[in-house]
Amino acid sequence: MVWRASVLTIFPEMFPGPLGSSLAGKALASGLWSLEISDIRDFASDKHRSVDDTPAGGGAGMVMKPDVLARAIDATASDTRPRLLLSPRGLPLTQARVEALCGGPGAILVCGRFEGIDERVIAARSLEEVSIGDYVLSGGEIAAMALIDACVRLLPGVMGAPHSAAEESFAEGLLEYPQYTRPQLWEGRPIPEILLSGDHAKIAAWRRAAAERLTRERRPDLWTAFLQRFRGGSRDT
Ligand code: ADE
């Protein structure tokens, strides 16, 4: 069974969007994963196909109706896939979570819109809220695409070189080291000499040191976690 993504949205025309190009698109076309889009509006019950209503208690904006969204969820294949609601209120998505999702059967992704969705449907359908970062998008669609892209590229057969996913940022808890390619001298800037030395041990040590320095400078949070994980200490240097 291939990895299956089911997306529930009021903007079905946004999909596959970028997921139809590049690595994810090729893998989709060759059947390494599947994408099913469900239009929440198809489950409205009035002639205007309403999916939202005014917030209880007053205030600006609109709230997605629980009955319509629940019908859309219930019409999606009931299986063991996690049901995720993309929301800035959710637990932050991490590479570890992406790896876990990628190793499972797929995901059912509910895209929120408006000022939010009725809280009761989150509990009644066990939706787990997931955020892709501390900023607010206009809806969950782009977040769902980001999550799917991050999972799909880890599926066996999707990436060209099988080791390249494991070597890069976050897999080990470090940011990626700098890369260079020809020309050797560009706008007065040379490629670091060691990378042209052919000495693979020295090159690996240089890359490792560069990755550690970048992580320490840019992401002290990751650096502290890295030190704790790999050195069993909490030195902050
Ligand atoms: N919807 C709106 N903002 C979001 C975010 N940061 N992450 C996930 N879903 C969202």
Say how far apart CA 197 and CA 203 lie, in whole Å. Answer: 8
> Which residues are within 8 A (CB) of 20 and not within 5 positions of it... i.e. 6 or more apart?
28
In this prediction, residue 235 has a pLDDT band, given cuts at 50, 70 and 90, of: low
Task: Give percent of the chain above pLDDT 90.
Answer: 87
User: In angstroms, what is the span from residue 128 Cα to ligand 1's centroid?
Assistant: 13
For residues 91-108, average pLDDT: 98
Say how far apart CA 176 and CA 168 lie, in whole Å. Answer: 6
Say how far apart CA 212 and CA 176 lie, in whole Å. Answer: 9
140 within ligand 1 shell (Cβ under 6 A) = yes
Residue 76 exposure: Cα atoms within 13 Å on the Cβ side: 29
| DSSP letter assigned to residue 46 | S
User: Which atom of ligand 1 approaches the CA of 132 most closely?
Assistant: 7
Closest CA to 89 of 135, 144, 126: 135
6 within ligand 1 shell (Cβ under 6 A) = no
Q: Which domains does the chain have, with CATH numbers?
A: 3-152 (3.40.1280.10), 168-227 (1.10.1270.20)
User: What per-residue confidence (pLDDT) applies to 216?
Assistant: 98
Q: Residue whose CA is closest, atom 2 of ligand 1?
A: 137
User: In angstroms, what is the span from residue 130 Cα to ligand 1's centroid?
Assistant: 8
User: What per-residue confidence (pLDDT) applies to 161?
Assistant: 62
